[in-house]
Chains A and B, each alone.
Chain A
Amino acid sequence: MEKITLAHGSGGTLMHKLIDSLFMKEFDNAILRRKKDSAVFDIGRSKVAFTTDSYVVSPIFFPGGDIGRLAVYGTVNDLAVCGARPLYLSLALIIEEGLDRNILEKIVSGAKDAAKRARVTIVTGDTKVVERGSCDKIFINTSGVGEIYYDGLSLDEIRPGDAIIVNGSIGEHAISVMASRESIDFKTKVKSDSSALNALIARALAISKGIRFMRDPTRGGVATTLNEMVERRSFGVAIDEKAIPVSAGVREACELLGFDPLYLACEGRVIMVVSKKDACKVLGAVRKDVNGKKAAIIGEVTRENKGKVLLRTSAGGKRLVGMLSGEQLPRIC
């Protein structure tokens, strides 16, 4: 009997196969089939986006954030990348028996602060307490509803020649959480990039009609997001290693542990596909936002290498970048 392993939840190939072979098959419908970060549909005369996500991060407090903030920001971003204005959120808590009340208060306070910053309202919720050992301190599920204000974002809009923009240095969330979890003290401290991107995205969408598609590179990182983008499409993507912003701390951790920063999870980053004509204008707008100071054009959509992501390496060679396979694990040497 096949068992579900951690790799089925890593955001990589196994998770995609599980989604396609089970969930997509059993729940099949037109909205789900679009595989967006949020479901987008009409209610009356309004077009709305609806999304849900669960947060099981360990440790629950890490440099740059906590599970409460992460739950709010993650859901806000899933709505924002679909061109929606995030409005209302639910917050459901599964708490392990024995959790200190003051820890719960800190998490709730984190979620409150994040909601205030993202200008969303938490309007409903749920609380369950499970026996000690049934979950790891606290798990959070959030759902969110937003109003679509820009309806032109779709994979179908992408054209060869379009530029690919990322709003900041990648992998900081994954390394910050891992360093706290494993008590590894890297020389250069890394803080999670966890943040709400709705203001940054609204700023970019306000100045350009040339933004074709957006996705936040969470589990599986930039590499997996780009692979999802080109999968079964008539275009490919080429990215430049030198152009991809990676902070010194993330590079240090990756070199030490044998990780590839392209596969590390981000929680405050967005990949934007923008027409060549508008790329510089959008980049300028993104850089004006507090979460976009280090934004960069990291590559372009290509006619060649259909369905594939090609990396032009810093050394001058070329190689493919596949979807995350299983979990990234530290190498022996």
Chain B
Amino acid sequence: MKYIDEFRNKKLIDKVASEIRRSVEVNRQYNFMEVCGTHTVSIFRFGLKDLLPDNINLISGPGCPVCVTPNEFIDKAIALSARKNMIITTFGDMLKVPGSYSSLEKERARGADVRMVYSGIDALDLAKKNPGKEIVFLGVGFETTAPTVAQSIIAARKNKVKNFSVLCGHKTMPEALKTLTEDPRLNIDGFLLPGHVSVIIGITPYLFLPRRNKRCVVAGFEPLDILQAILMLVKQRTPKVEIQYTRMMNKNGNALARESMKKVFEEYPSVWRGIGAIKKSGLKIRKEFSDFDTDKKFIPKISKPKENRACICGDVIKGVKAPPECKLFGKLCDPEHPVGACMVSSEGTCAAYYKYAGR
């Protein structure tokens, strides 16, 4: 397990943790946001908060793609699942997410054909094997998953597959970060930026952050990655964007992946659950590919989306509040009966608190 064992080496972890403790200024508080849900899970899974000094406060950010997908998207997928000859395909995480009135998992138990796949290409293969059925793939996720979904649409066009479309809910990260820095309730000193997103987009889209006095480090997901990135954030005097994840990325990102995204998608103002609409933060399918756009192909009709008013997922997603501050947490909202998406997704902040910290 090269590149995993090395980054879980206890001796090295202890060394970096001690260096963090030596490097912090004792009389100040450091507020660092880990933007990405995978970082959040890693921090909890490896108990990394135990290794940090008390004055480093790690705040979980909006980088769980399932958590920020609004009810309306799930409601549309559920409405489509009720149609005849329709197969809804999705990444595993999305199955349990509650929409306004139900979830795909519950609809599957009621008879809907909902299948878990590992990629858009898997969904496309299913379309080829089932010419009498319509296959809808739920396109969710950030810059990490969007290029592969773009590739599946390009491949569908090339192979003249007519029964495949994507319900597009992709989001992009930089504009969301801008929104966070503009929220007066948040006092963030620095960001742990998501390694896999950055592999695609490089560092250019983050360069506005140091100008807003925010320290930035692009980090990998193993314990040593995260601790090293925190050390780099602590030591950074003049805010800048540094890369800890050098083994996987360079500052320019992956131009080929960006090209396929650009070919199929265009930017538009996307609604983030709990945050609302953020300009240029979403991807929609370009007109040229509208044959593969579920929204255009089927125009799914849904009732008005509904949110539980007591759920504070929005504030949790933004890092303004921690899960235990929610009245529903652990009482009316748990992984079996999630009220908000933060509890259902394995990358959600509430689920991580509940599962790993028991509170």
The chain A residues found within 8 Å of chain B, CB to CB, are 3-7, 13-14, 17, 182, 184, 242, 248, 251-252, 255, 258, 260, 308, 311, 313-320, 322, 325-326, 329-333
B105 touches A320 (CB 8 A): no
For A242, the chain B residues whose CB sits under 8 A away are 10
With A3-B106, A315-B48, A317-B46: A326-B91 Cβ-Cβ less than 8 Å: no
Chain A, residue nearest B118 (CB): A330
For A6, the chain B residues whose CB sits under 8 A away are 105, 108-109
Q: Is B325 an interface residue (CB 8 A)?
A: no
B109 touches A182 (CB 8 A): no
B109 touches A333 (CB 8 A): no
Within 8 A of A (CB), among B340-355: 346-347, 354-355
Indicate the member of A248, A260, A317 with the most B CB atoms within 10 Å.
A317
B105 touches A7 (CB 8 A): yes
With A329-B93, A332-B91, A333-B65: A320-B109 Cβ-Cβ less than 8 Å: no
B358 touches A315 (CB 8 A): no
B47 touches A316 (CB 8 A): yes
A255 touches B4 (CB 8 A): yes
Residue from B10, B105, B334 within 8 A of A315 (CB atoms) = B10
Q: State the CA gap A242–B196 with chains docked (Å).
A: 27
Q: Is B95 an interface residue (CB 8 A)?
A: yes
Distance to closest chain A CB from B260 (angstroms): 17
B14 touches A326 (CB 8 A): no
Residue from A7, A248, A316 within 8 A of B13 (CB atoms) = A316
With A316-B47, A317-B49, A320-B355: A329-B10 Cβ-Cβ less than 8 Å: no
Q: Is B38 an interface residue (CB 8 A)?
A: yes
Q: State the CA gap A311–B44 with chains docked (Å).
A: 11
With A315-B46, A316-B47: A3-B96 Cβ-Cβ less than 8 Å: no
Residue from A5, A313, A322, A332 within 8 A of B106 (CB atoms) = A5
For B91, the chain A residues whose CB sits under 8 A away are 330-332
Chain B, residue nearest A5 (CB): B109
Chain B, residue nearest A1 (CB): B110
A332 touches B66 (CB 8 A): yes
B4 touches A251 (CB 8 A): yes
Chain B, residue nearest A308 (CB): B358
With A330-B93, A331-B346, A331-B347: A5-B47 Cβ-Cβ less than 8 Å: no
Known: A313-B46, A332-B65. 7 other contacts (CB 8 A): A6-B105, A6-B108, A255-B4, A313-B223, A314-B10, A315-B47, A331-B91
A330 touches B356 (CB 8 A): no
Distance to closest chain B CB from A324 (angstroms): 10
Q: Is B288 an interface residue (CB 8 A)?
A: no
Total number of B residues with any Cβ neighbor in A under 8 Å: 48
B1 touches A326 (CB 8 A): no
Residue from B10, B92, B109 within 8 A of A3 (CB atoms) = B109
Indicate the member of A242, A251, A314, A332 with the most B CB atoms within 10 Å.
A332
Q: Is B8 an interface residue (CB 8 A)?
A: yes
Chain B, residue nearest A324 (CB): B335
The chain B residues found within 8 Å of chain A, CB to CB, are 1, 4, 8, 10, 13-14, 17, 38, 44-51, 65-66, 91-96, 105-106, 108-110, 116, 118, 140-142, 144-145, 196, 223, 334-336, 346-347, 354-358
Distance to closest chain B CB from A276 (angstroms): 25
The 6 closest A-B pairs by CB, nearest first: A317-B47, A329-B92, A325-B335, A317-B50, A3-B109, A315-B46
Q: State the CA gap A242–B93 with chains docked (Å).
A: 28
For B17, the chain A residues whose CB sits under 8 A away are 316
Q: State the CA gap A7–B45 with chains docked (Å).
A: 23
B110 touches A314 (CB 8 A): no
A332 touches B47 (CB 8 A): no
For B141, the chain A residues whose CB sits under 8 A away are 332-333
With A315-B10, A317-B46: A5-B108 Cβ-Cβ less than 8 Å: yes
Q: State the CA gap A242–B106 with chains docked (Å).
A: 38
- Selected A-B contacts with CB under 8 Å, 5 pairs: A315-B51, A317-B51, A319-B47, A331-B38, A333-B141
Residue from A4, A315, A317 within 8 A of B109 (CB atoms) = A4
Indicate the member of B44, B46, B106 with the most A CB atoms within 10 Å.
B46
With A13-B336, A319-B45, A320-B356: A330-B50 Cβ-Cβ less than 8 Å: no
For A251, the chain B residues whose CB sits under 8 A away are 1, 4
Chain B, residue nearest A255 (CB): B4
Q: State the CA gap A17–B335 with chains docked (Å).
A: 13
With A326-B335, A330-B92, A333-B145: A252-B48 Cβ-Cβ less than 8 Å: no
With A182-B118, A316-B13, A319-B357: A333-B110 Cβ-Cβ less than 8 Å: no
Distance to closest chain A CB from B121 (angstroms): 13
Q: State the CA gap A318–B43 with chains docked (Å).
A: 11
With A313-B45, A316-B50: A322-B355 Cβ-Cβ less than 8 Å: yes
Chain A, residue nearest B352 (CB): A319
For B108, the chain A residues whose CB sits under 8 A away are 5-6
Distance to closest chain B CB from A250 (angstroms): 11
Distance to closest chain A CB from B342 (angstroms): 14
Residue from A7, A315, A332 within 8 A of B223 (CB atoms) = A315
Q: State the CA gap A311–B357 with chains docked (Å).
A: 11
Residue from A3, A4, A14 within 8 A of B336 (CB atoms) = A14
Q: State the CA gap A314–B224 with chains docked (Å).
A: 11
Q: State the CA gap A120–B48 with chains docked (Å).
A: 49
Q: State the CA gap A314–B110 with chains docked (Å).
A: 42
For A325, the chain B residues whose CB sits under 8 A away are 334-336, 355
Chain A, residue nearest B69 (CB): A332
Chain A, residue nearest B222 (CB): A315
Distance to closest chain A CB from B78 (angstroms): 14
A316 touches B14 (CB 8 A): yes
Distance to closest chain A CB from B224 (angstroms): 8
For A308, the chain B residues whose CB sits under 8 A away are 358
For B140, the chain A residues whose CB sits under 8 A away are 332
For A13, the chain B residues whose CB sits under 8 A away are 335-336
Chain A, residue nearest B90 (CB): A332
Distance to closest chain A CB from B153 (angstroms): 18
